[in-house]
Structure 1
Amino acid sequence: MKISLKLVLFSFFLFIIFSSTINSIALADGDTITIGVLVGDSHTRPFTRLNGTDNYLSSKMPEFTFNIVPLDFKSMQDGISSGEIDFVVVDPATYVTLEASNGISIIATMETVTYLPPDYVDQDATSFLGSVIFTKNDRGDIENLADTTGLSFLVVETPSKEGWWLAKREFTEHRIIPESDFGSIDFKKNPEEIVNPVLNGDYDVGILPSGVLERMYMKGQIDLDDLKVIHSQTYGDYPFLVSTRLYPGWVIAKSPQTSKSISERVSVSLLSMPFSTSSNSGIGDVAGWTVPQDYSPVVQCLRDINEGPFKDKIDLMATLERMKYFLLGILFLLIIAAVSVFYVNNLNSKLENEIIFKNEAEALLKRKHSIEKTMLNISSMFTYPGDVDMAIDMSLMEIGTLCGASRAYLFIFNEDNATMSNTHEWCSKGVETQKDELQDLPADTFPWWMSKLKNDEMINITDISLLPPEASAEKEILEMQDIRSVLVLPVFTEGNLIGFVGLDEVEGTRQWNSDDFDTLNMYSTLMAMVLKRRNMEKSLRESEQHLRRVLEGSNEGTWDVNLKEDYLIFNKRYADIIGYDEEEIGHNFEWMKQHIHPDDVDCAVSAIHNILSNTTNMGECEYRIRGKDGKYRWVSNKGKVVEYSENGEPLHIAGVLVDISERKEAEATLLAAKRTAEEASRTKSEFLANMSHELRTPLNSVIGFADILSEETFGSLNDKQQRYVGNISKSGRHLLSLINDILDLSKIEAGKMTLHPEKFEIGDSLDEVKSIISPLAHKKDIKLEINMVPDAITINADKGKFKQIIYNLLSNAIKFTDYEGSVTINVILQDKSVRVEVKDTGIGISKEDLERLFKAFTQIDSSSCRVYEGTGLGLVLVKNFVEQHHGKIWVESEFGSGSSFIFEIPVDLEASSPVFVPEADDRNVEGFVSEGARCSIVSRNKGIEYEMNDRSLVLVVEDDLKSQEILSFTLNDAGYDVRFANNGKEALELAKELHPFAITLDIMMPEMDGWDVLKNLKKEKGTEDIPVVIVSIMDERDLGVIWGAFDYFVKPIDREGLLASLERLKKLSSFEKVNVLVIDDEPSVLELMDSMLSTEGYNVIVASSGKEGIEKALTSSPDVLILDLMMPVIDGFDVIKELKKHPQTIDIPIIVCTAKDLEVHEKDELDKNVSFVMQKGIFKKQDFLSCIRNVEKLSAKAEKE
């Protein structure tokens, strides 16, 4: 046998040597050497760049003719197999593939041209290549490989695909699977067809071999600055853009049948080929050849991405054809081995092992199936409600029988884990129970056992005698039960140890196996769920019992509806509230619906709908329901969803029903009382308004004529006459003040008194009041002082009301202070409030009189104060004004020692008081209220153009003849012509006919009141621009503002104020308007600016964007420009830059009005180009107008210079 084996091996080696010799001789005898170059269908560059190489080789080896032919991969593989191809020029990946499949061998590595512009590395050639991954330079969303998922890729499909495969390895190593993570992958034949689709945005990312981009750049086809390289890499002086590792480049390799001597001569010739011989016209062309490089990185790359020889199947027939002689020898050896006894025995042995393994697997599977079946049976015992204890006993029997144990049991700890008891036990036949002996055992007597259980460890004792010394207590009790081996697992619920389950063996020691462990582990988990559910059910039953006791003892009816069965259940109190016996009530909603009051059915249905569909799943309704006696009673019903299905559908709703009949009766009583009180208040208000009119109308005439007489217009008066006329005017004004106080008090009580907060200096207001009150103090030689800490205090409050508070307190102090006394005002700024004290040296107030100080129409009841006139309303108004400012006022005084009236109000009163708006729905709600005791009101007319003559015409609309006479005298004396209208209808006709310079208008007139007249004047085209000055007994300045009056005066007529207002009108009518361009993207801001500036006589031009603003600035030549900075597309900074470029707009004054928080550099830029910067929401109207006027002055001064 040994001799035969040696003979076979010797024959085999002879066969191998003989076949190699035949091949070598065949190659040596040929006079043509064929070199195949790998190309694609349309990609022939690898072939063309070798032009001239065949001639060079022929010159070096003249005895041969070299022929270079282009081949695709299949043709090249067939040519190698058939012996028609002697050498191949291929890319590295194809070389690795053909080396594995066809046995080719490398003889040289190609070097390629790297001519590059001066800004690249100066190098002539390289033998390495890589792949470049690129996108458009402006794709800020693509910075690294991770950003490319979901994007579209365009890849060059050369025969080798080296650009794609090298890049694919990088993606794969970054956990990106191109086939699933890319949005799409398309291929192009020509590498130069990849770039432009990516630059045009047709694809997101392109992949090319390194050097292609540089070659296209050199040809002027692309600009490299338009591209961004993703995952860019740098390798020493490698000159090309690259995103991957570098790999050795293209190779020339010999076929297996090419002789070694020829391949060596070709290799030497190529390595010595001069640079000039190659076709080196550009980047990527052959520059020469170098010694073979290490291609193991290429092998690793293809292995990592499962490409090349690691993916494609080898053609069996081609392999057989190529290796037929070799395989014949192998076949001979296989035949000998196949008939050997050793091989047969080996197969038999293997078969026996497989049968044994199969039997063991089947036994294991059967065992697992038995365990699963047992656990399934045990689980089913606890699926349905029933006796849990019995189910536990039966489950222990199943576990013990399955594991073949002597005993199976469950221990449960008490609530504090202080004791444990054997609650359930099963024993096999012949084994005594230990359950009764194992009750209420102290847990701390078994420290070793408890430590294991608390740490969630299994107790696996195969032999009790081997327990450690620290388990002596456990050993003792186990030996008492004749236990030899034990297996125990703890039972936890929500992280708390509640017990343990175990198996005992009493007949001998036992090795517990993995099946025992798994079975007991599953059972302990099941017991945890069972015991948890039992505890929850116990707690639920206790809660239900407690709740039932509470509900039965409460005064509320409870109900529950099963929506699936449409069935209502309720308690007895529910039936009592409705007024029926329990058995008389239907158990569905339809019965309830029939007994609900018809007017309340929709409410009840809506409540049910809210319960079922609302996000809070709650609903509530109050409705009337009819009882058995036919009477309706009020109930409140509230419910919510208490149970849902697995799909989220409501299954049960529950709620409570409460009898609210008594509450509803009380509410009805309160409502009736409220209506009675409101009616009484309305009647009082109407009475006060009527009395005010009836009293103030004659007072207007009395004071007016007295003032005319005092001016001696119709002749001089002697001293006595002057004194009498003065007394008439003084008494009239005193009476008018009293009436005004009463009206103010009625407004406060009716809640119609509103505040108009504004920022002002307290010192200025005190000086104004002091100038008015000083004459009263001088008459009694009273010293009047003001002290402030600090010297300047600014508050946000109603300035008019603040001055009225100070005036009333000062006049009161002067009134009750004797001659040569003193009155002092002390003002102190506190943390968030200001404290004002008015202190006098007067008669003081007794303790019993202090409580009556702030009561209306009440004076201190003593003979000493009866000499002082007054109504007692002043301090009442003061108290109400202070409280409206969220402040407080109090008095410190002793009889005979003077008094101190002290009040505190917040420094910053939020402007949250309700603004009174008329109920009319068609009146123009626009205008502004200025500072001061008198309210100046302006309309939104775009300009006032009247024919001015020496005597401007004023139309007086007044139904009272005495008031007509006073107004006529006042206006004629000032140089105005006057026409009268006795009613509203006549006023409208004369306004259209005469188109007067101005109209004075009374409000309270018969048939058509002044408001309707004003409304119609502003609606008519011919009269809308006529300024209207209201002169009325009614003090409703706010309405005048809203309805577009120019000014407002309260009778008696303020002659000087009226004439000043008309003079202001004259100035406005002759004013040369200033054009103001407002640029803002907020419509509300544009409307506000238009209203604010138009009323001051400015011509307003608006633009809602930066682009529109630039256009209007160039075409309308505004005098002033108001600009917002924060606008879309073209912001305020861009507008400024553009306007500064044009000669006609460069000098336009600019006021920036913005809500933007400016940075330092932004402030610096604005300081150079704008006149003023104002913050939106901070400045007031007067501040803004002052700013514009300052800009006008600066502009006018610049023009003069």
Structure 2
Amino acid sequence: MENETINVLLIEDNEADVRLIKTLLSETMRSGTSAAVSLTTAGRLAEGLARAGERPFDVILLDLSLPDSQGLETFRRTHERESKVPLIVLSGLDDESLALQAVREGAQDYLSKGEVTGYLLIRAIRYAIERKRTEETLKATNRKLRELDRLKSEFLSTVSHELRTPIAIMHEGVSLVLDGVAGQVTDMQRELLADTLENVDRLTRLVTDLLDISKIEAGKLRLRRSRVDINEILKKIYTHYLPQAKQKGIRLECEIPEGPVFLFADADKLMQIFNNLVSNAIRFTETTGTITIGATDREADVLCRVSDTGIGISRENQRKLFHKFEQFGRVDGPGYKGTGLGLAIAKGLVEKHDGRIWVESALKEGTTFWFTLKKIPFPTILIVDDDEPVTEVIREFLQEDGYEFVVSRDGCEAVERIRAERPSLVILDMRLPGMSGYEVIGRLKHDTRTQNIPIIIISAFSVDEEKLGEVDAHSAIPVVHKPFDRAALRNIVREMMVA
């Protein structure tokens, strides 16, 4: 930029201010303190944007008060059209606060017209250009890094999927030989096969963890939420790990809140979080130690914990504890070898439930992992059907999944309720009083307030696909025919509720 001509676009309607800018730039060029500057001027925003579209500029000097645009709208329109060109706002004494806001929204700098000098002007231009170049370079680098990260996650996911089948075949083959299906097995063969099976199981865990972490990082992990009692999760974890704890001489305690504590959550993923934390606790707690699992019911969330009296974690290691492939306190030799992904997966699953996870620990003083699970409202399903027995049957067998229900008996009322109440899902009969199901779908899909609400059609009659396509050509709406299979309808509802 030292020896290059700087192409400047000045959008300013005040002729005195235009002359001032021209004079200041000319003086800096004559004094040798500036490279050559090519100045293009425009008195209106429309004219300035047209000029910017005709040729590239290195920087735009922009007055916010123009005949055809005022205030921040001037900056926003310019920034939207010329997002890659650095903008410097020229402000008067009465609009300095607007100039500051423009800087917050993406302008590189602002200059007060009453205080600007040639030195300040050319310095602001140079700095704006360099900052913008740095920004664009950083954005490009970040885009490349995100793409590399996406490719890495995609590779891990693909490889993990491809490994699952041969691993399953190996596992079954070794198991059959151990069971004597292929003939008598000697003690030495049995020992070797048992070691092989243990390592196949370890490989299975690794593949499963790689799949999970790749889904989490790619944002493709989906939660199958239903009504979950955290007490039942704790009881299952306690029952599962009690034999392992006893075998190692560890005391396992479970502290359960009084009464049920319901969450709208993915039960399998909650089990996985506790599994990862408790298995680590057993691994790093010595004989005669104690592990405690528990939960506390709070107003906005549930606070869960897994505590142990084990070897503890140093402050240095705590900073990278939830990073992938990090392992601490591992002893080489026989025994369980982790993947180094368990805590990273636990963190991802907790955050997917809108919670957070952290650790409190010190060397030789044990460790407590804390995590929160946010209480979110149970979703509401609107059933639109004029046949009361049908609505009661649907309500009855879906209620155990934790959904709330409202019912409409005709199409007109349904449209109004959906617009007012925004249910999470609509189960819609097609033959209704007042308005047909087709018209209901058409009105919902052409209203920005309701167009993204999922719909399931239930009908005793065949659905006219052509007519359905006329009212909604973009959505794939599932159809369940009456009399419907309860399990099939439940699975469709759960699939459409997946987050």
| TM-score range relative to shorter protein | 0.5 to 0.7
Query: How far apart, in 2, do the equivalents of 1:853 and 1:1107 lie?
Result: 58
- Please provide the CA RMSD for this pair: 5.1
Measured at CA, do residues 618 and 734 of structure 1 come closer, stay the same or move farther in structure 2, by a change above 3 Å?
same
Any conservation in 1 of the 2:255–2:293 contact (CA below 8 Å)?
yes
Q: Which amino acid is the alignment partner of residue 677 of structure 1?
A: L
Q: CA deviation at 1:814?
A: 1.3
Which residue of 2 is the match for residue 612 of structure 1?
68
Within the candidate set 199, 221, 225, 1:753 is matched to 221
Within a 5 Å distance, the mapping from 1:430-449 to structure 2 comes to none
- Cα deviation code 1:1148-1173 (max 9, x no counterpart): xxxxxxxxxxxxxxxxxxxxxxxxxx
2:18 alignment partner in structure 1:
570
Cα 1:706/1:865, change in 2 over 3 Å: closer
Pair 1:680-2:136 in alignment: no
Counterpart position of 2:258: 790
1:560 to 5, 8, 13: 13
Q: Count how many residue pairs are aligned between Structure 1 and Structure 2.
A: 356
> CA offsets per residue over residues 890-924 of structure 1, 9 Å max, x none?
3333444433222233233899xxxxxxxxxxxxx
Paired with 1:898 and 1:865, the residues of 2 have a C-alpha distance of 23
Cα distance in structure 1, aligned partners of 2:199 and 2:334 = 19
Tell me the equivalent position of 2:464. none
Shift of 1:829: 1.4
Q: Does 1:885 align with 2:353?
A: yes
- In the aligned structure 2, how far is the partner of 1:696 from the partner of 1:558? 63
Look up the match of 1:162. Answer: none
Instruction: Report the Cα offset of residue 813 of structure 1.
Output: 1.2
Structure 1: how far apart are the matches of 2:290 and 2:340? 22
Contact 2:321 2:343 survives alignment (8 Å): yes
Give 1:1131's aligned residue.
none
Q: Give the secondary structure class of the aligned counterpart of 1:903.
A: strand
Q: Which secondary structure does the structure 2 equivalent of 1:904 belong to?
A: strand
Partner of 2:344: 876
Aligned equivalent of 1:854, options 314, 322, 331: 322
2: CA distance, partners of 1:910 / 1:576: 65
Q: Deviations over 1:5-33 (max 9, x none)?
A: xxxxxxxxxxxxxxxxxxxxxxxxxxxxx
- Counterpart of 1:621 in structure 2 is 78
Alignment partners' CA distance in 2, 1:698 and 1:857: 24
CA distance in 2, matches of 1:780, 1:862: 17
Cα deviation for residue 793 of structure 1 reads 1.4
Name the counterpart of 1:226.
Answer: none
- For 2:139 and 2:87, locate their aligned partners in 1 and report how far apart those are by CA, in whole Å: 19
Per the alignment, residue 505 of structure 1 pairs with none
CA distance in 2 between partners of 1:725 and 1:1089 (Å): 54
Alpha-carbon distance in structure 1 between the residues aligned to 2:181 and 2:11: 89
Question: The residue matched to 1:858 in structure 2 has which SS?
Answer: coil
The amino acid that maps onto 2:427 is: M
Question: 2:483 matched to which residue of 1?
Answer: none
1:637-716 alignment to 2 at 5 Å?
659=125, 660-709=128-177
Greater relative contact order (CA < 8 Å, ≥ 6 in sequence): 2
**SS at structure 2 position matched to 1:855:** coil
Q: Where do residues 1029-1040 of structure 1 align in structure 2 (5 Å cutoff)? A: none
Give the superposition deviation at 1:808: 0.8
CA gap of 1:576–1:799, structure 2 versus 1, over 3 A, is farther
SS of the residue aligned with 1:901? Answer: strand
Quote the Cα distance in structure 2 between the aligned partners of 1:1102 and 1:788.
47
Provide the rounded CA distance (Å) in 2 between the counterparts of 1:613 and 1:591. 12
Counterpart of 2:457?
A: none
Q: Which runs of 5 or more residues in structure 1 are unaligned? A: 1-555, 562-566, 626-631, 643-654, 912-929, 931-1076, 1091-1100, 1110-1180, 1187-1201
Looking at structure 2, the residues matched to 734 and 864 of structure 1 have their Cα atoms a distance apart, in angstroms, of 15
* 1:1185 Cα deviation after fit: 6.3
* Residue 738 in structure 1 maps to residue 213 in structure 2: no
Alignment of 1:351-366 (within 5 A): none
Moved more, 572-581 or 734-743: 572-581
Q: Any idea what SS the aligned residue of 1:1103 has? A: coil
Distance 1:909 1:718, change over 3 A: farther
The Cα of 1:688 is off from its aligned counterpart by 1.9
One-letter amino acid matched to 1:560: D
Q: Does structure 2 retain, via aligned residues, the 8 Å contact 1:623–1:634? A: no
Separation in 2, partners of 1:846, 1:704: 42
How big is each residue's C-alpha offset from its partner over 1:728-759, in whole Å with a ceiling of 9 and x where there is no partner? 33321211111222332333333433444443
**Amino acid aligned to 2:276:** N
Which residue does the alignment assign to 1:835?
303
Name the structure 2 match of 1:1105. Answer: 433
Aligned runs of 1:1110-1189 on 2, under 5 Å? none
The one-letter code matched in structure 2 to 1:899 is: T
Shift of 1:761: 0.1
TM-score normalised over the length of structure 2? 0.56
Q: 1:880 to 1:851 in 2, by over 3 A?
A: same
Name the structure 1 match of 2:293.
Answer: 825
Counterpart of 1:166 in structure 2 is none
Question: Out of 38, 54, 75, which is 1:598 matched to?
Answer: 54
Letter in 1 for 2:199: S
Q: Counterparts of 1:481-630 in structure 2 under 5 Å? A: 559-561=12-14, 570-573=18-21, 596-598=52-54, 612=68, 618=74, 620-622=77-79
Task: Give the Å deviation of 1:634.
Answer: 4.9
Deviation of 1:824 after TM superposition, in Å, equals 1.8
Matched to 2:68, the amino acid is: L
Is the alpha carbon distance of 1:859 and 1:623 closer, same or farther for their aligned partners in structure 2, counting shifts above 3 Å? closer
- Residues 129-151 of structure 1, C-alpha deviation per residue, up to 9 Å, x if partnerless? xxxxxxxxxxxxxxxxxxxxxxx
Q: Which whole-Å CA distance do the structure 1 matches of 2:299 and 2:350 have between them?
A: 18
Distance 1:584 1:796 in 2: 62
Residues 634 and 1102 of structure 1, relative CA distance in 2, 3 Å threshold: closer
Q: Deviations over 1:818-858 (max 9, x none)?
A: 34543221221123222222122333344554444333322
When residues 609 and 821 of structure 1 are mapped into structure 2, their CA distance, relative to the original with a 3 A threshold, is closer
Measure how far apart 1:804 and its partner are.
Answer: 0.9
8 Å Cα contact 2:250-2:287 kept in structure 1:
yes
Task: Select the structure of larger CA radius of gyration.
Answer: 1
**Residue deviations 1:39-98, cap 9 Å, x none?**
xxxxxxxxxxxxxxxxxxxxxxxxxxxxxxxxxxxxxxxxxxxxxxxxxxxxxxxxxxxx
Corresponding position: 1:729 with 2:197: yes
Instruction: Name the CA shift for 1:866/1:674 in 2 (closer, same or farther; >3 Å).
Output: farther
> Contact 1:823–1:840 at 8 Å: present in 2 too?
yes
Contact kept, 8 Å, 1:621 with 1:638, in 2: the verdict is no
1:762 aligns with 2:230: yes
Q: Which amino acid aligns with 1:767?
A: K
Code of the residue aligned with 2:237 in structure 1: it is V
Match of 2:427 among 1067, 1076, 1089: 1089
- Which letter maps to 2:341? L
Partner SS for 2:146: helix
Summarize the Cα distance change of 1:837–1:861 in structure 2 as closer, same or farther, 3 Å threshold.
closer
Secondary structure of the residue aligned to 2:12 is strand
Q: TM-score, normalised by structure 1?
A: 0.26
The residue aligned with 2:267 is 799
Deviation at 1:699, TM superposition (A): 1.2
Distance 1:843 1:617 in 2: 60
Amino acid at match of 1:1105: P
Counterpart AA for 2:156: L
